[in-house]
Amino acid sequence: MKVNLLINNEWRAFHVEAGEYLADTLRRNDFLSVRRGCDTTSCGVCTVLLDGKPVPSCSILTVAVDNHEVTTIEGIQKEADKLSDHFGREGADQCGFCNPALALTVYAMKKELKNPSDQEIREYLVGNLCRCTGYIGQEKAIRSYLEDLS
């Protein structure tokens, strides 16, 4: 089946099987920042933005998002760059496998929530598991990114 996706502001056409998941379509087409972590929608590693909202691309059929907008980390490079400065200062990046997905979710949260509390930030990002950092460093970095108006 033919599917048109607006990926990172560029229309792309893909031929996919009906049963193919978005994560696989993207990876097959060299969006290597989209990764699989768990197969059960539990870990958040495969998160992309669909029409601006974070979704697990491992569980969305590509045909179901025909004519929708998909954003991967390549689509928000400036924000990722900025967020990574805050992560760097807090020493909050370790293995980095989940960081593009976390950055996308943080970016979506920034647009969706106004002045979120620490608890709201945790709740919004809870689906992005991290096995490396213990979370607290990440949260300090994210908090300072949200407060950074530069």
Partner 1 sequence: MKVLDYYRPTSLADAYETLMRNPQNQIMGGGAWLKLSPGEITTLITLDGLGLEAIAEQPEAVLIGAKATLRAIETSPLIAQLQGGLLRDAARHVMGVSLRNIATIGGSIVGRFSFSDILTALLAMNAQLVFHARGEIALADYLLLHRPEKDILLWIKIEKDNAHSAFRKVARTRLDFAILNLAIVKTRATTTIALGSRPQGPVLAKRAMAYLNESANLTEKVFEQAARLVTEELAFGDNLKAGKEYRRHLAYVLSKRLLKAVNSDES
Partner 2 sequence: MKAVNTITPSVDGKGLMMGRKGYTDDYAEKNSLIIKIMRSPHPFARIKLIDTKRARQLAGVELVLTYRDFPRVPFTRAGQGYPEPSPHDKFVLDEYVRYVGDEVCAVAAISEEICEEALRLVEVEYEVLEPLLDFETALDNSQIIHPEPEIHEMFPTGFAPKRNQAAAYRMEVGDVETALKGCDVAIKETFYTQAQAHMMLEPHTANARIDYQNRLVIYSSTQTPFHIRRIISQALGIPLAKIRVIKPRVGGGFGGKQALHGEMFVSYVTYKTGKPSKIVFSRKEVFESTYSRHPMRITMRMGATKTGMIKAIDCHILSDTGAYGEHALTVFMVAGSKVLPLYNKVAAVRFGGEVVYTNHTPAGAFRGYGAIQGNFALESAIDILAEKLGMDPILLREMNMMREGETSPIFAIMGEGTEGTAMIMDTCKLDYCLKRGKELIGWERKYPRYDETREKVKAVGMAIAMQGSGIPYIDMGAATIKLNDDGCYNLMVGATEIGQGSDTILTQIAAEELQTTVAKVIVYSSDTDLTPFDTGAYASSTTFVSGNAVLNTARKLKQAMIVEAARILGTEETKIGFDGDMFRDSLSHKEISLKDLSNQITYSHEQKQLSVTASYVGHKSPPPFMAGFVDLEIDKETFEIKILDYVSVVDCGTTINPKLAQGQVEGAIVQGLGMTLFEEVKYTAKGKLVSSDMLNYMVPTRVDINNLTTEFANSYEESGPFGAKSVGEIGIDTPPAAVGNAIHNALGIRMTALPFTPERIYRQMLIKERVEK
Residues of this chain that bind partner 2 (CB under 8 A): 32-33, 35-40, 42-43, 45, 72-74, 77, 80-81, 83-85, 87-100, 103, 122-123, 125-126, 128-139
Beta-ladder partners of 49: 54, 71
- Contact partner, 96, from partner 1, partner 2, none, Cβ < 5-8 Å per class: partner 2
Binders of partner 1 among 70-99, rule CB under 8 A? none
Q: Residues 89, 123, 131, 148: which binds partner 1 (CB under 8 A)?
A: 123
Distance of CA 33 to the CA centre of its chain: 9
- Contact partner, 107, from partner 2, partner 1, none, Cβ < 5-8 Å per class: none
Question: According to the binding rule CB under 8 A, does residue 126 interact with partner 1?
Answer: yes
Residues 92, 85: contact at Cβ < 8 Å? no
Spatial separation of the C-alpha atoms in residues 88 and 137, rounded to whole Å = 10
Residue 110 DSSP one-character state: H
CA angle 54, 106, 71 (to 5 degrees): 45
Amino acid in position 50: L
**Chain residues that interact with partner 1, rule: CB under 8 A:** 1, 18-19, 21, 39-42, 44, 47, 50, 53-56, 58-61, 63-64, 105, 123-129
